[in-house]
Amino acid sequence: MRLTYGPWGETLNELASAARAAEDAGAETLWVPELHRSATVTATVLAGATTEARIGTAIALAFTRSPMATALEALDLDELSSGRFVLGLGSGVRRLNEDWHGVTWDKPVKSLRDTVTAIREFTANCRTGAPIEAPGMRIRGYQRPFPVHRGRIPIYLAAVGPAMTRLAGEIADGWISHELCSPAYLQERLLPQLNPRPGFEVVVSACCSIDDDPAVAYRRAAGLVGFYASVRTYADFFAFHGLAEEQARVVELFRRGAGADDLAEAVPERMVELLTLSGTAEQVRDKLSAYGGRADAIKLTPPTHGVSAEETRLAQDRIIELIGDLT
């Protein structure tokens, strides 16, 4: 199972330094999200700061750019990184698309299928000058005058629900899990829907918090668990782990206006233990082994909710140290 990493930085310079350190430690892929920064701009920073690790978006929002704009950015990033780029796409949720980005939300599974089809059609044919036809794309009189490093850039899809997960298994080159994804949930709920074929990469995401004192490690990760537990949409996930009552308490606190620190206080150690890779370095190594035979790669990320920047830095340092010990 390959170790990959989602570097963190309060500035882009710090992010680049973390990426270099993770690459030097042996991280095979470096992933960047899209929320507080643009995924493609951040990926550009990492591509310029590294030389060997793959650079992936985990994820770029699929519907907030046109398929052509996404394809152009992917081609440029693939050229900049000498063929190291992985385009990770996700739909996001309805509120984010409509309220934050002003994008119409309509049949997201079909829309994501059409988006992937259009991106692949464009990247494969943009140099020919021939007409390009794809769902939502009708291009005439266009020919890219610049080099194309690869005409088919790997596209990974992030998915949580069953329909989107089945789509990822059907059309994508890989799948990226939600940040909370236990080995049992992966085995029993997700892999049967993915039905991964040869060459398809299953990437499990995991919040990782390491400290010589397990209680400190659990506390750092509790805010992230509380953040996701506040979302009613994830009720089935928490119920699967026997955490329905615990989630209900977090949801009620959130409804009353609780902040990240309060939500973290409401998360018992049992939730953190089941849903994150937290504890001492030895405990985290044991938890990692539970994904063996189920996932092809694991994407480790430090906790970022309800903790200070300094605590995230400490967590990041310990993860990079772990990667170096295991690779």
Distance (Å, whole) CA 62 – CA 246: 33
User: In the chain, what percentage of residues exceed pLDDT 90?
Assistant: 96
Partnered with residue 205 across adjacent β-strands are: 299
Residue 261 pLDDT more than 90? no
What confidence category does residue 260 fall into, taking pLDDT thresholds of 50, 70 and 90? confident
- pLDDT digit string, tens, across residues 24-48: 999 999 999 999 999 999 999 999 9
Residue in this structure with the two tokens 């990437």, named with its chain if needed? 203
What confidence category does residue 259 fall into, taking pLDDT thresholds of 50, 70 and 90? confident
What confidence category does residue 233 fall into, taking pLDDT thresholds of 50, 70 and 90? confident
- pLDDT digit string, tens, across residues 73-125: 999 999 999 999 999 999 998 999 999 999 999 999 999 999 999 999 999 99
Higher per-residue confidence, 261 vs 302: 302
Residue 65 pLDDT more than 90? yes
Answer for the pair 275, 180: CB distance below 8 angstroms, yes or no.
yes
Retrieve residue 72's tokens.
Answer: 């152009």
The continuous run of DSSP H or E covering 210 comes out as: strand 201-210
Q: What values do phi and psi take at 98, rounded to 5?
A: -80, -45
Residue 232 pLDDT more than 90? no
Task: Report CA-CA distances (Å) from 301 to 33, 150, 242, 260, 297.
Answer: 11, 29, 25, 18, 13
The mean of the pLDDT values for the chain is 96
Q: What values do phi and psi take at 235, rounded to 5?
A: -60, -40
State the pLDDT at residue 102.
96
Answer for the pair 221, 314: CB distance below 8 angstroms, yes or no.
no
Residue 128 pLDDT more than 90? yes
Distance (Å, whole) CA 107 – CA 95: 14
- pLDDT digit string, tens, across residues 166-195: 999 999 999 999 999 999 999 999 999 999
Distance (Å, whole) CA 11 – CA 16: 9
Burial call 178-213: b when 16+ CB within 10 Å, e when fewer = bbbbbbebbeebbbebbebeeebbbbbbbbbbbbee
User: In the chain, what percentage of residues exceed pLDDT 70?
Assistant: 100
Decide the pairing of beta strands 201-210 and 297-301. parallel
User: Which residues are CB-neighbours of 111 under 8 A, at least 6 positions away?
Assistant: 62, 63, 91
User: Which residues are CB-neighbours of 114 under 8 A, at least 6 positions away?
Assistant: 67, 134, 135, 136
Distance (Å, whole) CA 258 – CA 263: 6
- pLDDT digit string, tens, across residues 313-324: 999 999 999 999
Cα atoms in the 13 Å half-sphere on the side-chain side of 50 = 34
Question: What's CA 281's distance to the chain center, in Å?
Answer: 23
**Model pTM score:** 0.96
